[in-house]
């Protein structure tokens, strides 16, 4: 066991932990953006609320979720430890700032990471924490006529405080009662300050992953003439362009909807 | 050419240093950077001042002794050369040039612009060698090596150990140097017996010396006078994790 400890405590070992947690968080982003595309479904939040309910009530996902929270904390903590150690390696700074060829994002991973950590705390506080602990959060009842496929939505007030969700079918009508996270999303994203903060944070995601995704592969030692360009391509287009743009589109779209509703 | 130099002066590792400005007058554009400093030192000596201390030896770019962080670049603004190969025509008349020593915890300042780079020697001694048995002299061409592999090993072997990678890195990491030394031996058949022991010993010594860790910014590769590639670092990481996580150094549990 001490051999593993020594390996993980070496400078390369700490970077290994950064790389593995970082890549795990990257895979999470794919799932997260995929699921959240349901926000663009114009169905009064039916599919999104059912999806949110599924995520919080399906045990394997819950296990992975706790692994995910652990990864975020470890990634942030090791990032901090490495930054402190790296600063100690140069106690006297240069008078002239380095003009070496190196991308802006590669030199500012700590700054970008700090923005992201702040974002995650606010983001989880607003949605995850409320979803789990806010007793005042409302419920919605979706009645779908299975013959016509039409869905009617109404507010639902549970009879007892312990109620979480229910699915039942009566007379060819499917009744789904779930917590209304969608309303919370719409409410949060009607605030312009909040929307701007989300868009900035997604910019930080883009630059963090533009460098981070390919850097993780280098740290693991997986550099190959044939595959490294593929890694760069995925890191640039999927993780630094498509995913942040899709995420940023969500608050912007909901802000747009809120301004439409006001008129 | 007439230039203003802002030079870091520091008596020794214990005392604090500061920048002092000097005029470099009547400098020929064909002089090397070190010759320009020689001229300045000559005038300082005539005035009875202490000359500027800087490292140099071969002055033809192969020994790795010269250093200097010039206007934000180790070995000056040009690519693929050392300070001794840098000519004054790179600068324009009247320019102010800031000259700093390599800045790293692991490279303590000896005096002025000269730093102690013996940390590199200790890393090299920790494992940067191959064992050669006594006996008959083997035929140099007896072991076939693919040309691309030999070329890659020799590219890594061109590292002169000047420390520009440490100076350029925002983390003062020595990984480009260490990985080049590991790769030049690890790629070749003669380096195989000690390959996985070597990478562990050299990385352990590197950590011991207090260098930072790699963020893959690529600044080292950009500033290396011998243009050592960043792929060396990935290869070192691969060997290190392979050694630590997958290889058995001892087949059975040792009782002692």
Which CATH number characterizes residue B128's domain?
1.10.1060.10
CA-closest candidate to residue B179, choices B170, B168, B187, B167: B187
Start-end of CATH 1.20.1300 domains in chain A: 2-91+106-137+180-262
Residue B210 and residue B91 share a domain: no
Q: Band the pLDDT of B251: cuts 50, 70, 90.
A: confident
Q: How many domains does chain B have?
A: 2
Residue B140: the pLDDT is: 77
Residue B133: the pLDDT is: 82
Do residues B74 and B113 lie in contact, with contact meaning Cβ atoms separated by under 8 Å? no
Question: How far apart are alpha carbons A243 and A206 in whole angstroms?
Answer: 8
In chain A, which residue's Cα lies nearest the Cα of B68? Answer: A94
For residue B255, is pLDDT > 70? no
> Does residue B16 form part of some domain?
yes
Q: Does A102 sit within 8 Å of B240, measured CB to CB?
A: no
pLDDT digits (tens, 9 = 90+) for B177-229: 999 999 999 999 999 999 999 999 999 999 999 999 999 999 999 999 999 99
Residue A4: the pLDDT is: 87
Q: Does B215 sit within 8 Å of A106, measured CB to CB?
A: yes
Q: Does A7 sit within 8 Å of B105, measured CB to CB?
A: no
Residue B139 and residue B95 share a domain: no
Which CATH number characterizes residue B45's domain?
3.10.20.30
Residues 6+ positions from A29 with CB-CB distance below 8 Å: A205, A239, A243
Do residues B88 and B80 lie in contact, with contact meaning Cβ atoms separated by under 8 Å? no
Residue A262: the pLDDT is: 53
Residue A171: the pLDDT is: 86
Residue B234 and residue B121 share a domain: yes
Domain holding B192, by residue range, is 117-246
CA-closest candidate to residue A15, choices A103, A87, A81: A81
Last residue of a domain, one of B71, B100, B129: B100
Average pLDDT over residues A97-111: 91
Residues of chain A contacting residue B104, judged by C-beta atoms under 8 Å apart: 89-90
**Which CATH architecture describes the domain A2-91+106-137+180-262?**
Up-down Bundle (1.20)
Residue B223 and residue B135 share a domain: yes
For residue A263, is pLDDT > 80? no
User: pLDDT averaged over chain A?
Assistant: 93
Do residues A2 and A69 lie in contact, with contact meaning Cβ atoms separated by under 8 Å? no
pLDDT digits (tens, 9 = 90+) for A121-145: 999 999 999 898 888 888 999 999 9
> Does residue B62 form part of some domain?
yes
């Amino acid at each position: 066991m001490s051999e593993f400890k020594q390996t993980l405590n070496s400078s390369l070992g700490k970077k290994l932990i950064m790389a593995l947690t970082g890549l795990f968080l990257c895979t999470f982003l794919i799932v997260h953006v995929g699921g959240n595309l349901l926000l663009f479904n114009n169905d009064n939040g039916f599919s999104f609320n059912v999806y949110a309910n599924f995520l919080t009530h399906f045990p394997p996902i819950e296990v992975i979720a706790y692994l995910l929270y652990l990864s975020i904390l470890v990634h942030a903590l090791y990032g901090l430890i490495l930054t402190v150690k790296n600063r100690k390696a140069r106690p006297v700074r240069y008078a002239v700032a380095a003009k070496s060829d190196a991308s802006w994002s590669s030199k500012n991973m700590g700054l970008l990471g700090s923005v992201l950590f702040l974002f995650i705390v606010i983001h989880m506080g607003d949605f995850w924490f409320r979803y789990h602990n806010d007793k005042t959060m409302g419920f919605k009842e979706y009645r779908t006529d299975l013959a016509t496929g039409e869905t009617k939505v109404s507010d639902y007030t549970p009879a007892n405080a312990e109620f979480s969700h229910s699915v039942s079918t009566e007379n060819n009508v499917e009744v789904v009662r779930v917590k209304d996270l969608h309303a919370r999303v719409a409410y949060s994203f009607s605030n312009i300050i909040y929307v701007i903060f989300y868009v900035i944070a997604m910019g930080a995601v883009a630059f963090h992953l533009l460098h981070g995704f390919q850097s993780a592969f280098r740290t693991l030692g997986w550099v190959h003439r044939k595959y490294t360009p593929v890694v760069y391509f995925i890191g640039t287009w999927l993780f630094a362009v498509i995913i942040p743009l899709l995420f940023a589109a969500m608050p912007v779209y909901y802000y747009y909807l809120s301004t439409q509703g006001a008129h | 050419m007439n230039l203003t130099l802002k030079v870091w002066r520091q008596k020794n590792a214990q005392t604090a240093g500061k920048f002092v400005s000097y005029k470099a007058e009547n400098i020929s554009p064909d002089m090397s950077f070190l010759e320009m400093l020689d001229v300045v030192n000559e005038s300082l000596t005539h005035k009875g001042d202490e000359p500027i201390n800087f490292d140099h030896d071969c002055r033809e770019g192969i020994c790795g002794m010269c250093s200097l962080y010039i206007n934000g670049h180790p070995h000056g603004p040009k690519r693929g050369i050392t300070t001794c190969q840098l000519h004054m025509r790179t600068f324009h008349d009247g320019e102010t040039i800031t000259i700093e020593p390599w800045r790293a915890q692991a490279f303590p300042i000896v005096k002025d612009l000269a730093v102690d780079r013996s940390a590199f020697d200790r890393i090299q001694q920790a494992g940067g060698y191959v064992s050669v048995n006594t006996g008959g002299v083997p035929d140099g061409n007896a072991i076939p090596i693919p040309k691309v592999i030999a070329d890659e090993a020799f590219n890594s072997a061109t590292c002169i150990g000047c420390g520009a990678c440490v100076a350029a890195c925002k983390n003062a990491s020595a990984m480009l140097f260490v990985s080049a030394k590991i790769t030049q031996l690890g790629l070749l058949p003669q380096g195989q017996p000690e390959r996985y022991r070597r990478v562990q010993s050299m990385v352990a010594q590197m950590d011991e010396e207090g260098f930072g860790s790699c963020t893959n910014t690529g600044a080292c590769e950009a500033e290396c006078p011998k243009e050592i590639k960043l792929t060396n670092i990935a290869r070192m990481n691969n060997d290190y994790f392979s050694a630590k996580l997958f290889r058995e150094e001892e087949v059975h549990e040792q009782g002692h």
